[in-house]
Chain A
């Protein structure tokens, strides 16, 4: 990898709690992720993959070690600075979709744009474009209750990509979906990775889903166990 990795972890540790009850979730992670990569993070529960994802998503900070995102030392940033970083460069997709209820698909997708201060027209155009990308243009005025699980996850993906982020973080995005919907979602993510150049970081415990990635990182006991190439790698 000739170019500077977009994400770089050096000796990252994370300790929850204090004193005798303290629990070390991460025991020193070194990891580089290149721009445009599609990374699947795998590992059993308690292996530290969720903690790592929280740190990579700038939602949490390491107890020690360095985390550089686009050359910035995230571990030195405060809460609001990290929020601004998320707003600008990151998109999130969750296992439970996490859409706002009683809110239309378009309004859900527009939400990040509101925080960016885009005007009404801009929000509408960008929101509809994102819905178009996930194939839900026709469903823009439906609330989550009126959409299937697969559709809801597509709306969530549209919300994550509407700001044209550099990195998309997906936490078990297919965990609540049947295998057919799961494959559709994975194909969508693959397409976004390949054609829109978005770096995708995905936590999964399903081998089938991890197979879509270029790189698979295995976690075990708070450490990176091994890194292997995916089918597309």
Chain B
């Protein structure tokens, strides 16, 4: 029974190839648009998430001041001390690694090449917190850190600009007028959401404090939270600890802030997700219009084939079979349209993704939903014309010119 109607549907579609194609065009374009938009949108979301995760996963950034920046007026909130670092390490549970950071900008020079860059003074823990890898060479030795020796690990941008194709390992370069030895090169991290992350020089914090900042303060503390612990819980206890250490009275505002990188990640990916949904919804409207196109053509088709329906009824087709025939025809058309649409979306996404500099992510769920949706459109918009066909009176249908 169903097999028969499917055969009949394919025969009818085959008899009118051009019309069938034009009928499904709306569905083809609709499905292709929805799936392409959502696929590219997901790629963009993934790209953003990738950039954010380069800041380190489950990392809390502790800075002086309220929120971003230092805030207007009033005395500048004090930086952190080394003791704060030790306290965080020893008194908080769920902390995987703690790294102090002092930042300074300056010019790096090697044999007549100079490059303006940012100097990070930190410890080896930084590599663990930020999940930075050393591509060539090594991290700082404990004694180098302890003594604050003049050694540095450089980012790829610095390496390219100063050393071109020469091997920088073991070479001495000058940074802010001080000589230091390159012991390692960081693996490439690319353009993050916050500028070129390869444009850095990392040095032992004690060296930076002694030679550049002139005090033993720490301007930023990075706290990596153990995966087994909830970041927000650790954040709360970190805040409590810091209020206590910085002697902030109850009711007074914090003079520091703790920043969860996951929050930025969620905010930004949330934005791209919403954009994806909006664009997808707009494309879904075109899918709906495509469905109305199917109904339109099917109605015309029922009128045009009134005699055919009359013949079928006369030779003994029951109403349900005629209904099924036209319904299956609409469903087959919309499913074919859906499949072609998915195929086009695949081609379009693969072609456009590199142009937008987002990864191509094949999402089986989106494809499945779009396909089922197109099938559903066939059912919904095919039912009305099909019921009309099935309710025809055979005598009148046979007389129809």
Contact = CB atoms under 8 A, between A and B. Distances in A.
Interface in B319-355: 319-321
Interface in B75-131: none
B274 interface: no
Given A103-B11, A114-B4, A54 B395 contact: yes
A52 B176 CA distance: 111
A52 B313 CA distance: 18
Contacts of A127: none
A101 B8 CA distance: 14
A94 B398 contact: yes
Contacts of B314: 57, 59, 86, 92
B329 to A, nearest CB: 14
Interface in B1-58: 1, 4, 7-8, 11, 15-16
Contacts of A90: 316
Given A59-B395, A103-B15, A115 B308 contact: no
Contacts of A116: 316
A95 to B, nearest CB: 10
B15 A88 contact: no
Contacts of B1: 117
B15 to A, nearest CB: 4
A60 B395 contact: yes
B307 interface: yes
Contact of A88 (B7, B11, B316, B317): B316
Nearest to A160: B315
B398 A83 contact: no
Nearest to A114: B4
Majority DSSP secondary structure for residues of A touching B: helix
B394 A59 contact: yes
Contacts of B398: 94, 98
Contacts of B310: 98
A115 B311 contact: no
Given A60-B395, A98-B310, A114-B4, A87 B15 contact: no
A115 B11 contact: no
A80 B319 contact: yes
A111 B16 CA distance: 18
Interface residues of B, number: 24
Interface string A76-116: 00011001111110111010001011110001000110111
B189 interface: no
Contacts of A59: 313-314, 394-395
Contacts of A94: 398
Contacts of A111: 311-312, 315
Nearest to A99: B311
Contacts of A100: 308, 311
A159 B315 contact: yes
A133 B376 CA distance: 46
B318 A83 contact: yes
A112 B316 contact: yes
Contacts of B8: 114
Interface string B280-294: 000000000000000
B307 A117 contact: no
Interface string B384-400: 00000000001100100
A98 B316 contact: no
A116 B1 CA distance: 9
B395 A115 contact: no
B17 to A, nearest CB: 10
B313 A107 contact: no
Most buried by B among A60, A87, A107, A117: A87
B7 A84 contact: no
Given A59-B314, A100-B308, A83 B395 contact: no
Nearest to A159: B315
Contacts of B308: 100
Given A54-B395, A98-B311, A117-B4, A84 B318 contact: yes
A91 B314 CA distance: 9
Contact of A83 (B4, B7, B16, B317): B317
Interface string A58-78: 011000000000000000000
A116 B315 CA distance: 10
10 contacts: A79-B319, A83-B317, A88-B316, A98-B307, A98-B310, A98-B311, A103-B15, A107-B11, A111-B315, A115-B312
Given A100-B308, A115-B321, A116-B316, 20 more contacts: A79-B318, A80-B318, A83-B317, A83-B318, A83-B319, A84-B318, A86-B316, A90-B316, A91-B315, A92-B314, A98-B398, A100-B311, A102-B16, A111-B311, A112-B315, A114-B7, A114-B8, A115-B4, A115-B317, A117-B1
